Amino acid sequence: MENHGNVLSSFCLLMTIFVIIIPHLGCCIESSSVSSKVGTSDSNLDSKNSYNSSFCAAKYIMKSYHERYEQLHDSHYKDFIEQVLPFGMCDIQSDDPNLVPSLLSIERKLIGEGSHRHLSSSMRISNLPAVSIANISYDSCGLIFIERLPNGVFADPFELQHLLQRGVFNDIAVFGDTNLESPSFLSNRSSVEVHMVINPDILSDKNGIDFKLKIPLHARYAPLDESGYSRVVFGKPDLFLRCSVGKTSLNQSCLYVIANNDSESRYGTIVWKQPSGMKAHSGVVYVFTFVSAFLAALVIMLTSIFHSTSSMCKSSKQS
């Protein structure tokens, strides 16, 4: 009876393994529709000593964006920047190129190998024109760096939180799809917003202002591709300068867009080639996985039967 019970248990275990594995095999062959889930920023990423206490109530630009739009699309983002952001709060025309800083140079590259890399950005922006400094007295200023990540990569909020606690960043947050386990075909785009504190006095430096930062990124599971690789193309980052105004009331600030129209042509496009499966190999992978699972279950069942038989033989000899 004991032997019969062990055989029945092994058979049930074999069937359970088949039930669990077969549906997942189907998911590996055919990609499903894109998920509409959108994550939110982690409130724990807020810096305790944030320079933004006297700024506008909307601390993060991307947070304001996601309050209007569920997903990150370049067309929606462009409309948001042009029509929604509160520019021109300092009694000057913030879109006048003669009154706002500009991007002098930017160099970007991917550092590392495999599925975990760093996106390095080195930038230099021009000084704030003398007419702006003469007309406005700034209490504090900060550079806002927004990286709109392409589909296929993500930034780990927990990893960024650790870097924030170590003082690597003044403030940083992730917006959009923060599901770390979703493959590319089931995920939406996300973005990283970094805040860096600067001294308002250096805005008049004729040599410009240099900034460097590295954002750790991770590759998602790439969709099937006949070439065996999936290309992830990074766009240009967005830069803003936000300064609190001393002569105005609390919560009022100046927000400038730092133009970088020629950066792509000067430094090229950043491409991350990620290994991916090929549809031509999907049948072989399916058969190999099925056979491996079947043999593993068979070994478990035979081992259980052999162990039960050995136990019965020992019991009979002792009796």
The count of structural domains within the chain is 2
Same domain, 141 and 105: yes
Concatenated DSSP letters of 211-274: EEEEEEEEEPPPPP-TTSEEEEEE---EEEEEEEETTS-TT-EEEEEEB-TTHHHHH--EEEEE
Same domain, 111 and 231: yes
For residue 140, give both structure tokens: 């504090």
What angle do helix axes 74-83 and 61-68 make, rounded to 10 degrees? 110
Same domain, 102 and 247: yes
| CA distance linking residue 32 with residue 21, whole number of Å | 18
Same domain, 44 and 83: yes
Q: 226 near 278, Cβ under 8 Å?
A: yes
Same domain, 95 and 201: yes
Same domain, 21 and 73: no
Please give the backbone phi and psi of residue 172, each rounded to the nearest 5 degrees, phi first. -155, 145
| CA distance linking residue 273 with residue 222, whole number of Å | 10
The answer to the question of residue 124 being in a domain is yes
Same domain, 64 and 142: yes
The answer to the question of residue 240 being in a domain is yes
The answer to the question of residue 262 being in a domain is yes
Same domain, 297 and 181: no
DSSP run (H or E) holding 50: none
Same domain, 156 and 14: no
Same domain, 245 and 110: yes
User: Which one, of 186, 191, 192, 189, lies nearest residue 222 by Cα?
Assistant: 186
Same domain, 43 and 15: no
Rg (CA), the chain: 28
The answer to the question of residue 313 being in a domain is no
Range of the domain at 64: 33-277
pLDDT in tens, the chain (319 residues): 444 444 445 545 445 544 444 334 333 323 322 222 333 343 333 433 333 333 344 689 999 999 999 999 999 999 998 888 765 555 554 455 556 778 888 899 999 988 899 999 998 888 766 545 555 566 778 889 999 999 999 999 999 999 899 988 889 999 999 888 888 888 899 999 999 988 777 777 777 888 899 999 999 988 777 777 888 999 989 999 887 776 544 456 778 888 775 554 456 689 998 887 666 666 777 788 888 898 999 999 888 888 777 666 666 666 6
The answer to the question of residue 314 being in a domain is no
The answer to the question of residue 131 being in a domain is yes
Same domain, 110 and 235: yes
CB atoms within 10 A of CB 189: 20
The answer to the question of residue 319 being in a domain is no
The answer to the question of residue 148 being in a domain is yes
